Every structure is written in structure tokens, then in C-alpha cells.
Amino acid sequence: ILENNRGEINNVTVVQILMARGFYDDLQVLSNTLLPIKNAILSLESKKTTLADCMVHLFHIAAIVKNTSTVDYKAFRQACINIFNKRYREFNDLQYLLAFFLHPAWKGGGVKDEMFLQLSTTAATLWKSWGHKQKSCKDLLEQLRAYKLKKAPYNTEFSSTSSESPIDWWLTIFDGNNQLQRLATKLFSISPHSASCERQFSSLGWFFGNRRQRLNLETVESLEKVHRYILSNAEKELSYTKTYEEDYIRNLVSMATVNNDDEYDDLPDDSDLTDLNDEEGSDTNSSQNTNAIAQLDIEETVDLLPWVVIDPTFVPQCTRSFSDDDGESDFDVADLVKK
């Protein structure tokens, strides 16, 4: 651009930035840092997303930040680490790590050995909270140890290139009364986002807004049900729309929403933005005022290695018709794990 179309850029400051030494290197580092974040946002809103996927994307982001040069981009790296640590604390739940540990593609690869005791306690605590008794929890811990050591039947290969999902794999693993299988299928059945619910509540703004505040609650509910039904059955219920061109339909939608006063209702107030900037700024200033190299909190639990995301498929959890809950119901999970 500067060589062939220099006259297209009239702003002197922009020209100086483009001609600055190292500008494109800086741009490449920034692009490499933002890429896994973009991929995480796109992937984690999928219907197939699991708790394990959340951890995998965090590993990707952390690995990129860690590999940023400590010489040329020390201040940028420390700022990224401070921001990452702050956000990681929001996801630093052992249930997420347990889901990753139970993912058959990795089988806990990279998780530090000292975390196994905490993961065992988390699994047993979940199992007890679901109404299972001491004997069943003990069997669960035995199966978890066998899984950790990759003993049969947990040494079965998982195909990451096919459409096989983690739940598909676990439903073919049989060990005793299958406590670990049932725990894993429940964890992988959890959707870690509310994107579908958010879409429904967002559409309510079309029906109930600043100009329509007297609608009865039942009326709003009925309108939303009709709206969702039409969207779900558009091809069958609105087959006549095939006679119209796509541009015509788009213009109709644009005309219907151009005066929607509620589209900015979800924007944060200026005070919220100010508080957020102050909070982020304090982290940045603290990192720049110290010569110590910041550390990623996530490295306390895992070793950051190259990660490959597997796109799992949702499968309903299995049911059972037998009981393995004979025994004591009042017991201490921590003592049981240490036995």
C-alpha cells in the first residue's frame, strides 16, 4: 500500500505506524495470541461442547501466551498472563479438570500426578452427592485408579478422526457396576453454556420492550412459543416463502427491526466500562512495575503441551435398572480416597 498507493493514506500517524520497524512482527504476535481465543469463542457455543473442551481451549490459549518472547514482548506477555490468570480463576473448577481427565482422547495427559488425589476426591464427592453409598464410592475410586493406569478395559483406543464422541466411547466400557462409566457420561452430557436459552430471551425483546410494557406474562410466553415453533418448523410451516427471493425477505426483516429500541439495552453503562478498564489497568500496571516474570496459574495443575480439540457429539446419558448402593450412606469422602 505504501509503495503503490501511498496517496490513499492521508493520516501521517497511520503512515508512521505502518513504516515503524517491527510493526508487522508485533501484528503477527498479536494475531497468534488472538487466534486461539477466536477459536474458543466459536467452538464453545456449539451444541456438542463439553466441559473438557473448555479446559482444552484454556490450554491452547495458555500455551500461546507462555511461548510469547520474554525479551521482545515482556510487557505484553505479562499483561496477557495477568488477564489469563484472572479469567482462569473463573473456570478453575475441578469438575472441568475431571471432565478433561476422563476424556478418552487424552486420558489425563499433561495433568500433574499430584492432582490425582484432588480429582479422586471430586469424583467421589459428586458420586456421593448423587445419592450413592460408601461401597459404590469405593468401587468408583478403584475404577478411577485403573483408568489412571490405563488398565483394561480403559486401554481401548479412541478414534479422534471419526464421529465417535466421548460418550460413545464410555458407553462401550464395562467394569463391574460401571460407576466410572456412569459418572463420565453424566459429565459429558453437561452443556457448559446457555446459548440456546440466551437466544430465546433475546427474542423476547421483540415482544416486550419500552413501547410494549403492558403485555401479560402469559401473552409474552405464548408469543415466544409461537416464535420458536415457527423457527423450528420453518420449512414446513412457511413453505410459501420459497416463492419470494432472498433479498426481498431480508428487506422485510430489516424494515421490521430498524426501529427496534431494545437493541442497545444489553450494552453496559459507562460506569461499568470505566470500572472494567480501571480493573484491567491495575493488573497491567502491576505487571509493568515489576521485573519478575509472571507465571500462568494453570501450570500448577497441567503441563502445557500441544493440544488438538476433538469435536464431541452429544448422546443422551445411559440409564440403569440395578442398584449398587448397599452399604453406609454417612461417610467421609476424603478418608475414603486416602484408603
Element (H, E) at 35: helix 23-44
Residue 27 lies in a domain: no
Q: Which of 195, 254, 200, 251 is nearest to 227 (CA)?
A: 200
Contacts of 6 (CB under 8 A, 6+ apart): 15
State yes or no: pLDDT of 11 exceeds 60: yes
pLDDT digits 0-9 by tens, 135-153? 999 999 999 999 999 999 9
Residue with cell 496517496: 7
Report residue 95 as a C-alpha cell: 469438575
Share of the chain above pLDDT 70, in %: 70
pLDDT band at 237 (very low <50, low <70, confident <90, very high): low
Q: Mean pLDDT, to the nearest integer, of 290-298?
A: 72
Residue 266 lies in a domain: yes
Which pLDDT belongs to residue 257?
52
Residue 213 lies in a domain: yes
Which pLDDT belongs to residue 48?
83
Domain span including residue 222: 196-280
Residue 271 lies in a domain: yes
State yes or no: pLDDT of 230 exceeds 90: no
Which pLDDT belongs to residue 273?
45
Q: Which of 111, 61, 106 is nearest to 83 (CA)?
A: 61
Q: Mean pLDDT, to the nearest integer, of 194-219?
A: 72
Residue 237 lies in a domain: yes
Which pLDDT belongs to residue 214?
75
φ/ψ of residue 302, rounded to 5: -135, 155
Lowest mean pLDDT among 9-18, 178-187, 321-330: 321-330
In this predicted model, which residue has the larger pLDDT, 325 or 176?
A: 176
Beta-carbon count within 10 A of 6 CB: 10
Beta-carbon count within 10 A of 144 CB: 23
- Compute the distance between CA of residue 126 and CA of residue 143 in angstroms, rounded to an integer: 15
State yes or no: pLDDT of 277 exceeds 90: no
Q: Mean pLDDT, to the nearest integer, of 40-62?
A: 87
Which pLDDT belongs to residue 278?
56
Residue 236 lies in a domain: yes
Which pLDDT belongs to residue 298?
86
Residue 205 lies in a domain: yes
Which pLDDT belongs to residue 124?
96
Which pLDDT belongs to residue 263?
46
For the chain, the domain total comes to: 1
State yes or no: pLDDT of 291 exceeds 80: no
State yes or no: pLDDT of 77 exceeds 80: yes
Which pLDDT belongs to residue 310?
35
State yes or no: pLDDT of 121 exceeds 70: yes
Contact yes or no for 77/296 (Cβ under 8 A): no
pLDDT band at 238 (very low <50, low <70, confident <90, very high): low
| Helices 179-188, 94-101: inter-axial angle, 10-degree rounding | 110
Which pLDDT belongs to residue 14?
79
State if pTM tops 0.75.
no
Which pLDDT belongs to residue 151?
94
Most confident of 61-75, 82-96, 170-184: 170-184
pLDDT band at 120 (very low <50, low <70, confident <90, very high): very high
Lowest mean pLDDT among 52-61, 107-116, 215-224, 229-238: 229-238
Which pLDDT belongs to residue 271?
47
Q: Mean pLDDT, to the nearest integer, of 302-330?
A: 52
In this predicted model, which residue has the larger pLDDT, 253 or 32?
A: 32
Mean pLDDT score across all residues of the chain: 78
In this predicted model, which residue has the larger pLDDT, 324 or 217?
A: 217
- Compute the distance between CA of residue 174 and CA of residue 105 in angstroms, rounded to an integer: 18
Q: Which of 183, 151, 156 is nearest to 167 (CA)?
A: 183
Which pLDDT belongs to residue 92?
87
State yes or no: pLDDT of 305 exceeds 70: no
Residue 178 lies in a domain: no
